[in-house]
Chain A
């Protein structure tokens, strides 16, 4: 196997602020909490950090979607950097990580602080938060093609794709419910999760429809919180306090039309070519995965990934998740072990990274996957955006 650059990088530190439905401090303060937590976890000090990356960078719009960017955090921490970059036009939120791999490989930096901060719980209380557009507004860019049709939230854009999946797969609401039910089971064991009460199929079906086929429990939970990781070159990573956990392979491809309306395969979204690329960069296979943290901005993203990673066959997810046993903590393919974004909160794919690392270190507490997991897959998704990578603990 080619010695791809990602194999010479490792996640050495993880950090997270308090995750809540309403923070008692600013988005920047939450980000500082997460950053200092991650730096300390890696056994480093501020002076060791010589790179920074984030997705998508400061939107400067108060929407809570991304209120903290590199300049504010770099200045607050007085970091001295050899390289830094935000990156919003990438293979989803993991573009920040993939760019950092390149920068480390190019010798521009050794320890990159990567962060993602959400402040949507507070923003929703005070403004038209996380809206794609507003009545009467003029809309620029790719969302102009949706603008006149009362598309105010990602739920509507994405529902078009989930409807196509439901139509082609024949998956019913009752079958889909097991994603949300399983994740609430996991969240019940996670003291930091937002929603910890177990739910049933009946609860799932009794919850409001947002836009067909989406129901309330298919949707992630807006929160205030920040997640940070330290991505390091493997050489200094070998001296870090935790066991070396390398990035084994990445999937960053864009081989479709990069468009929310013209994307060829609405039912699979952009995931298949991303998964194919990741598998082509490793000798590992699906059977080697011990734990999977699959993006769940909506439950359908997770369902799509089960099929597109090859865990089950195309349109076979409805049988694979039935009863929740295979995807449970003690099942053959445990997923979203902290409750995911549906129950632990919308940390926007970086919750998935943090939880994968927690599991690979054996620090999951009551929700720890048994059997000393050593290989994790982490994914993100959303229409034309998709990214994936494998983590291997040595």
Chain B
């Protein structure tokens, strides 16, 4: 069944000064992940503290936007009116560091084609001033 209604607006994070860079880097096409100045460890979610070397000196680093699907689910239930019948929720590990996982939707592909460890790349969708990172299969035409 095709639902012609507009998809519901995404619930959005209430940002803080710690998290705002992550959710706004997409305006310039950048996926920004907090990184330790001292040992280069990527810290996610951002906290301003490096659990590896205990440094408090960090910055937001643009990363490649590439990653791999750690796990995923294909949703089949219409929780709210206007949602597509099927969509993919996933955890993506970024290419730079395996223990940084981003919840996301996998878009621009058939949900049935998504697989574990599939290479994906970031794209952004602007919502009410925030730039929501989504991922699509590497090589996707979109």
Contact = CB atoms under 8 A, between A and B. Distances in A.
A130 to B, nearest CB: 11
A152 B79 contact: yes
Contacts of A160: 71-73, 89-91
Interface in B1-39: 8-14, 19
Nearest to B105: A149
B76 A209 contact: yes
B87 to A, nearest CB: 6
14 contacts: A135-B80, A145-B13, A145-B103, A147-B10, A149-B89, A150-B8, A150-B79, A151-B103, A153-B79, A167-B71, A209-B76, A210-B76, A211-B73, A261-B101
A208 B77 contact: yes
A148 B73 contact: no
**Best-buried of B72, B73, B102 by chain A (most CB within 10 Å):** B73
Contact of A163 (B8, B45, B72, B77): B72
Contacts of A108: none
Interface string A79-103: 0000000000000000000000000
Nearest to B79: A152
Given A135-B9, A147-B13, A261 B74 contact: no
Given A160-B71, A167-B116, A266-B70, A212 B76 contact: yes
Interface residues of A, number: 40
Given A160-B91, A261-B101, A266-B71, A147 B12 contact: yes
Contacts, number: 115
Interface string A148-185: 11111101100111111001000000000000000000
Interface in B32-88: 44-45, 70-77, 79-80, 83, 87
A262 B99 contact: yes
Given A160-B91, A211-B74, A136 B8 contact: yes
B91 A150 contact: no
B59 to A, nearest CB: 20
Nearest to A136: B9
A163 B103 contact: no
Contacts of B91: 160, 261, 266
A47 to B, nearest CB: 46
Given A160-B73, A262-B44, A266-B71, A150 B14 contact: no
A134 interface: yes
Contacts of B79: 131, 150, 152-153
Interface residues of B, number: 35
B74 A150 contact: no
B24 to A, nearest CB: 13
A167 B103 CA distance: 18
Contacts of A149: 10, 89, 103-105
A233 B11 CA distance: 47
B73 A156 contact: yes
A147 B11 contact: yes
Q: Does more than half of chain B's interface fall in helix, strand or loop, or is it mixed?
A: strand
A237 B19 CA distance: 51
Contact of B103 (A137, A208, A214, A261): A261
Given A210-B77, A211-B77, A148 B71 contact: no
B108 interface: no
Closest 6 pairs between A and B when the two form their complex, measured CB to CB:
A144-B13, A159-B73, A135-B8, A152-B79, A133-B11, A164-B71
Interface in A210-258: 210-214
Nearest to B80: A135
B14 A144 contact: yes
A150 B75 contact: yes
A299 to B, nearest CB: 15
A131 B104 CA distance: 18
A225 B101 CA distance: 37
B132 interface: yes
Contacts of A138: 11-14
Contacts of A211: 73-77, 89
A135 B11 contact: yes
A150 B87 contact: yes
Given A138-B13, A149-B103, A209-B76, 12 more contacts: A136-B11, A139-B11, A145-B102, A147-B11, A148-B12, A148-B13, A149-B104, A150-B10, A164-B71, A167-B71, A210-B77, A262-B44
A210 to B, nearest CB: 5
A222 to B, nearest CB: 14
B75 A156 contact: yes
B11 A262 contact: no
Contacts of A259: 45
A134 B72 CA distance: 21
A362 B115 CA distance: 49
A157 to B, nearest CB: 8
